[in-house]
Amino acid sequence: MLRASIAYNGQEADLQGIADGAKAGDQGIVYGEKLTAFADAAVAGDPATLASARDALRDAAGSEALVDAAAVLGNFERMVRIADGTGIPLDEVVHTMSGDFREGLGIDSYRSRREVDAGPLARAFAPVLRRVASLGLGLAGRLTRRSD
Amino acid sequence: MAPFSFEASVDPIRPDLVEAYRRAWNHIAGPGTWLTGAERVAVADETRRARDCALCRERKEALSPFAVEGDHDHGGGLSEPLVDAVHRVTTDAARLSERWVRGLLEQGTTIERYVETLGVTVLVISIDRFCHAMGLPEEPLPQALSGTPTEEPAQDLVEGEAWVPMQSKERVARALGLPMGQAPYVVRALSLVPAEVEAWQSLSAAQYLSIERMRSFDSPRAIDRSQIELVAGRVSALNECFY
């Protein structure tokens, strides 16, 4: 969804921040570095680091953005445990569309990985599908922004 | 004072978040499908105890979390397998296994009670993590309400796709009004106990996005969709979530 939302904004996706955190910088996302620093600090739990990251995000992006980021953070602390606690596999379409970056970001080596295979046809056409989806999202984003 | 008043907050908290948290607290307090209100509040209490549990800390540091024996620091309100479920889901979810889930059932709980326990546990984690991230105190747990669980079994169950049975993707899609009759796995994951899917959806709509909004890349929030997904992706990566 991150890559799709960046494509929708008409930009090229650099997803390294997912693996590297704040040291990857903004990655073309407004306040990207401060958002990842806030997420890192909240998950790690050190109160002083978290307070500092919270203040930095609030100062840069405002209280509303801080609250929204904290809510998303809380939501995904839940989502990961639902997935890990029920042993659901990755949906085939997600597996197909994310195959090119999962290995590079180390996601395929996570201990929670559960084998999924979308089949030979999906594997063969995945690069084309990803490109078409990216172009389509970029076009949809441009059309939406033009109509606003 | 009503729960989740957030009077200590210097940042205004969105009213829809407050309402969602109050709904979740009411949902936890009442009798569920397979657990009583007292058991559900005990699950919530156990979720908070797990963070300071010595056994959980030892297991987290061990090469295999299943190699360390011992007793959890628990509150006494739940059976042993459910205590273990809450503590492991809270502190080391990435290393859970199907074999471990089967072990819980061999110890005498049911898969329905496990899924409901999971549903309550993750609600509490989600809300507590928001408070923690905002530097706010945790909300006191609700008082359990009396009453008996409905014990209403879920329909159209499919086995073998995950460690737990789930309702068919068509059934869940119909219930939630999803397009094309297809519900992704994460939406179906708790569907053995449909009331927990409803609670999941209610909280997600406020904390993240409603199902309708997920299909659009415009954001109703102060942060845009790519910012939302950056936080979501980073939190998932830090938790080593393959999904």
Chain B residues in contact with A90 by the CB 8 A cut-off are: 185, 242-243
pLDDT of res. B240: 82
Q: Using CB atoms within 10 Å of the CB of residue A140, give its burial: 0 to 12 exposed, 13 to 18 middle, 19+ buried.
A: middle
pLDDT tens-digit readout, A66-108:
999 999 999 999 999 999 999 998 887 766 666 666 666 666 6
pLDDT tens-digit readout, A8-51:
666 665 666 667 776 777 778 899 999 999 999 999 989 999 99
CA-to-CA distance for B186 and B199, rounded, in angstroms? 14
CA-to-CA distance for B231 and B128, rounded, in angstroms? 17
Chain A residues in contact with B217 by the CB 8 A cut-off are: 4-5, 8-9, 137, 140-141
> Which one of B226, B229, B240 makes the best mutation probe of the A interface by having the most chain A beta carbons within 10 Å?
B226
Cβ contacts of B91 within 8 Å, gap of 6 or more: B50, B51, B53, B56, B57, B59, B60
Helix axes A63-86, B194-207, angle to 10 degrees: 150
C-alpha distance from B192 to closest chain A C-alpha (Å): 11
Task: State the amino acid at position B26 in one-letter form.
Answer: N
Q: Which of B214, B212, B234 is nearest to B225 (CA)?
A: B214
Q: In chain B, what are the domain boundaries? A: 13-150
Enter the CATH code of domain B13-150.
Answer: 1.20.1290
Across A9-18, A21-30, B55-64, B171-180, which has the greatest mean pLDDT? B55-64
CA-to-CA distance for B120 and A66, rounded, in angstroms? 26
Q: Is B102 left (phi over 0), alpha (psi -120 to 50) or beta?
A: alpha
3-state secondary structure of B157: strand
CA-to-CA distance for A48 and A36, rounded, in angstroms? 16
CB-based contact, A24 to chain B, within 8 Å: no
pLDDT of res. A146: 65
**ipTM, 2 dp:** 0.95
Cβ contacts of B150 within 8 Å, gap of 6 or more: B31, B32, B33
B236, A76: Cβ pair inside 8 Å? Answer: yes
- Range scoring the smallest mean pLDDT among A19-23, A38-42, B16-20, B111-115: A19-23
CA-to-CA distance for B106 and B50, rounded, in angstroms? 23
Q: Is the pTM of this model over 0.95?
A: no
pLDDT of res. A97: 63
